[in-house]
A and B are shown apart, each in its own frame.
Chain A
Amino acid sequence: MLLRLEPRAQASRGLRIAAPLIALALTLGSGTVLFGALGQNPILALHTFFIRPIDSLYGLSELAIKAAPLALCAVGLAIGFRGNVWNIGAEGQLTMGAICGGGLALAFYGVEGPWLLPLMVLAGGLGGMAWGAIPALLKTRFNANEILTSLMLTYVAIQLLGYLVHGPWRDPEGYNFPETRLFGEQALLPVLLDGTRLHGGVVLALIAVGLGWLLLSRSFTGFQIKVVGQAPAAAAYAGFSRGRVVWLSFLIGGGLAGIAGLGEVAGPMGQLNPTVSPGYGFAAIICAFLGRLHPFGVLLASLLLALLFLGGESLQMHLNLPLAITGVFQGLLLFFVLACDVFVRYRVRLGPAVASPAP
């Protein structure tokens, strides 16, 4: 006897609503068992994971800060993935954005004015775009696989950042430690809420989500991207250019990732370090798919991933659970969400595949 998955002609409407709820129930159930087996009070543990990190305005602001770079990167990636363009290098594009924007802050240290920050945002976006343009060029000109080129360029960007903060951009009063000086006041994104770190980058992320939705759902360009992604032959027949979609995807994805990087260095960090991002560019790939490649879905997925991160910290800090256990729980949660998602689009059948009747 075999189990097999059969695609549904139409995604089940009931399951579409029920799937997240089932995933939630499974997560809570397995969490209860997991934490109970470790001798913890399961209710307290689940509360510590899901509620405690965001039970204050400060907590909510931290959630937004954590989700913003994820959402920025993931919206750009989702647009590309819709067009069948596989940009895996958002992490590198983010790093380039941080280098270009942060470089401006360092170059104008001491002579800054209100004009500096907009320039930095622009430089961050352009830096990310430029880094995204390389795989786009290699793809359209030489048909080089963009997964490989964009991924490899990530490591180039990270090494470049390492070189700069270990070398020429090192803080002159920093005892040769690998970090730049702290940016001047005018080179920092404004804090939106007193007593928190909620910065302007969060607003940029929300704008990006809105614009991403407009592009994909309400514009002809978005339509072209989707057609090129789903039916390349039809797209070619209609005269939609595949090369244009590749370029657009990489420029949008790179630009948004670059702004995300600038948001980190001009926001909560306020300087350049050897590690600007703890892997936002890669986590954004998960966000993009978790959000079903829809900008609003991506926003929700980014918030969920951010909460997973904060919850993991909270479990360690307040219940003394080791990192590995919080990792197991985070993995379970993602697994349930994705597994339930499968049943929205597929149904489970018993027995071998049946040949479809001849027409």
Chain B
Amino acid sequence: MTVSRLLPRLLAVLSAAALLAAAGPAAAEPLKVGFVYVSPIGDAGWTYQHELGRRHLETALGDKVETSYVESVPEGADAERVIREFAAGGYNLVFTTSFGYMNPTIKVAKRFPGVAFEHATGYKRAENVGTYLARFYEGRYLTGIVAGKMTKSNTVGYVAAFPIPEVVRGINAFTMGLRSVNPSAQVKVVWVSSWYDPGKEREAAETLIAQGADVITQHTDSTAPVQAAEENGVYAIGYHSDMSKYGPTAHLTASTHNWSGHYLASAKAVLDGSWAPQDLWGGIKDGMVELAPFGPAVPAEVRSLVEAKQAEIAAGTLHPFLGPVRDQSGALRVAEGGVLSDQDMLGFDWYVEGVLGKLPK
């Protein structure tokens, strides 16, 4: 009993001494925003895009905001501590940027009702927890069009992480775009069972190339598939970030995420007191999904086609899952003129026609 009382006190004295040595005069209280990242920032990939959003927030709001982050927080028991540490440390807004942070975020939010939390990709919300996600599939559809125009072998390779709806949705949207311009093209998928594993991703890309794929795309985090495509003289379409510097000739374009606008809007909302939890699923129209600049191999005619389709999606006149949508067995899932509902897209557990192989369940 005495030890448990004495030790914190002793440490408190030590901390006070150190803080006296360190602390300067305090300025007007800025808004404190914390970010929890699942992987190292690096220079491409999922976390890198969130980091770009954080930097944008700092530039846009200057000294009205103070941001901090922790990288590589495992999605297990550790996440809750990091999130709580932000909340307890006077942070007003905390972004938790990976699916595995959902339950820890909800748990911490209960204890800190005065702090706003936003969780990326999840589905649980609370009075002070909102969620945000982007309609990545819109970008996938557009990159599918690029692949359909560029493939000669009519076989496109797809390196994918895990068969969850998010990834399956991307594969399906890509295939819809691909076959909208090239009905005989097909998609081969290799699952690597990891979000980030350069070795396995490279191997998967090389397997696909050996099987005749002449365009490689990916739903994984490293740049290895793009590099493999560059070395093997085939095309590549990146994901998350512009990966062109890893495949200067191979890289056709990439479907990229842009969180800057959302982070800025949320921070401003907390600043002026109007923040409320929302279930945001924004797409091209909201600036959350973008295409990386086209590579030198993409002809002008393809560029203008893709740009036109991009404008149609932004205007709401084109939907990637516009009927007729058939599954692998040829059964009609969406009738002519209809579109797949958000609910159906969120639960995707089947492949559209044009994807080869069986979806692991």
Q: B22 to chain A: which residues have CB within 8 Å?
A: 41, 43-44, 47
In the complex, per-residue mask of A44-55: 1 if CB is within 8 Å of any chain B CB, else 0: 101100011011
Closest residue on chain A to residue B88 by CB atoms: A58
In the complex, per-residue mask of A170-183: 1 if CB is within 8 Å of any chain B CB, else 0: 00000111110010
Closest residue on chain B to residue A45 by CB atoms: B22
Partner of B76, one of A177, A182, A269: A269
Docked complex Cα distance between A317 and B89 (Å):
10
* A57, CB-defined interface residue at 8 Å: yes
B residues 1-49 touching A (CB-CB < 8 Å): 4, 7-8, 11-12, 14-15, 18-19, 21-22, 34, 40-41
* B300, CB-defined interface residue at 8 Å: no
Q: B76 to chain A: which residues have CB within 8 Å?
A: 264, 268-269, 273, 275-278
Docked complex Cα distance between A58 and B111 (Å):
14
Partner of B162, one of A166, A264, A313, A322: A166
Contact residues on A (Cβ < 8 Å of other chain), bracket: 35 or more
Q: B34 to chain A: which residues have CB within 8 Å?
A: 317
Q: Are A55 and B11 closer than 8 Å at their CB atoms?
A: yes
Contact residues on B (Cβ < 8 Å of other chain), bracket: 35 or more
User: When A275-B76, A313-B82 are in contact, do A318 and B68 touch as well, CB less than 8 Å?
Assistant: yes
A residues 248-279 touching B (CB-CB < 8 Å): 264, 267-271, 273-278
Q: Are A322 and B41 closer than 8 Å at their CB atoms?
A: yes
A interface, by DSSP: helix, strand, loop or mixed? helix
* B100, CB-defined interface residue at 8 Å: yes
Q: Are B349 and A176 closer than 8 Å at their CB atoms?
A: yes
Docked complex Cα distance between A275 and B195 (Å):
12
* A184, CB-defined interface residue at 8 Å: no
Closest chain-B Cβ to A335's Cβ sits at a distance in Å of 21
Q: Are A278 and B78 closer than 8 Å at their CB atoms?
A: yes
A residues 308-329 touching B (CB-CB < 8 Å): 309-310, 313-314, 316-318, 320, 322-324
Q: A65 to chain B: which residues have CB within 8 Å?
A: 77
User: When A44-B22, A323-B40 are in contact, do A178 and B71 touch as well, CB less than 8 Å?
Assistant: no
Closest chain-B Cβ to A104's Cβ sits at a distance in Å of 19
* A197, CB-defined interface residue at 8 Å: yes
Closest chain-A Cβ to B84's Cβ sits at a distance in Å of 8
Docked complex Cα distance between A62 and B81 (Å):
8
Docked complex Cα distance between A37 and B41 (Å):
22
User: When A313-B85, A322-B41 are in contact, do A175 and B347 touch as well, CB less than 8 Å?
Assistant: yes
User: When A57-B4, A275-B76 are in contact, do A316 and B11 touch as well, CB less than 8 Å?
Assistant: no
Q: Give the 7 A-B CB pairs with smallest separation, nearest first.
A: A268-B77, A47-B18, A44-B22, A278-B74, A323-B71, A55-B11, A316-B70
Docked complex Cα distance between A72 and B40 (Å):
29
Docked complex Cα distance between A110 and B75 (Å):
26
B residues 123-139 touching A (CB-CB < 8 Å): 123
**18 A-B residue pairs with CB within 8 Å:** A43-B21, A43-B22, A44-B22, A46-B18, A55-B8, A55-B15, A56-B8, A60-B4, A175-B123, A175-B165, A176-B164, A178-B164, A197-B80, A267-B77, A275-B74, A316-B71, A317-B82, A322-B71
* B346, CB-defined interface residue at 8 Å: yes
Docked complex Cα distance between A277 and B77 (Å):
8
Q: A60 to chain B: which residues have CB within 8 Å?
A: 4, 7-8
* B278, CB-defined interface residue at 8 Å: no
User: When A47-B18, A65-B77, A275-B76 are in contact, do A177 and B99 touch as well, CB less than 8 Å?
Assistant: yes
Docked complex Cα distance between A166 and B167 (Å):
13
A residues 156-213 touching B (CB-CB < 8 Å): 159, 162, 166-167, 175-179, 182, 197
B interface list, Cβ under 8 A from A: 4, 7-8, 11-12, 14-15, 18-19, 21-22, 34, 40-41, 68-78, 80-82, 85-86, 88-89, 99-100, 103, 123, 162-165, 193, 346-347, 349, 361
Q: Are B103 and A271 closer than 8 Å at their CB atoms?
A: yes
Q: A271 to chain B: which residues have CB within 8 Å?
A: 103
Q: Are B361 and A317 closer than 8 Å at their CB atoms?
A: no
Q: B88 to chain A: which residues have CB within 8 Å?
A: 58
Q: Are A323 and B162 closer than 8 Å at their CB atoms?
A: no
Closest residue on chain A to residue B12 by CB atoms: A55
Docked complex Cα distance between A316 and B361 (Å):
39
- Starting from the known contacts A55-B12, A278-B76, 17 additional A-B residue pairs (CB-CB under 8 Å) come to A43-B22, A44-B22, A51-B18, A54-B11, A55-B11, A55-B14, A60-B4, A166-B163, A167-B361, A175-B347, A271-B103, A278-B78, A310-B81, A313-B70, A317-B68, A317-B69, A324-B40
In the complex, per-residue mask of A118-158: 1 if CB is within 8 Å of any chain B CB, else 0: 00000000000000000000000000000000000000000
Partner of B85, one of A44, A159, A317: A317
Q: B7 to chain A: which residues have CB within 8 Å?
A: 60
Q: A178 to chain B: which residues have CB within 8 Å?
A: 162, 164
User: When A44-B21, A176-B349, A317-B82 are in contact, do A323 and B11 touch as well, CB less than 8 Å?
Assistant: no
A residues 31-76 touching B (CB-CB < 8 Å): 41, 43-44, 46-47, 51-52, 54-58, 60, 62, 65-66
Docked complex Cα distance between A177 and B349 (Å):
11
Q: Are A44 and B18 closer than 8 Å at their CB atoms?
A: yes
Docked complex Cα distance between A277 and B86 (Å):
23
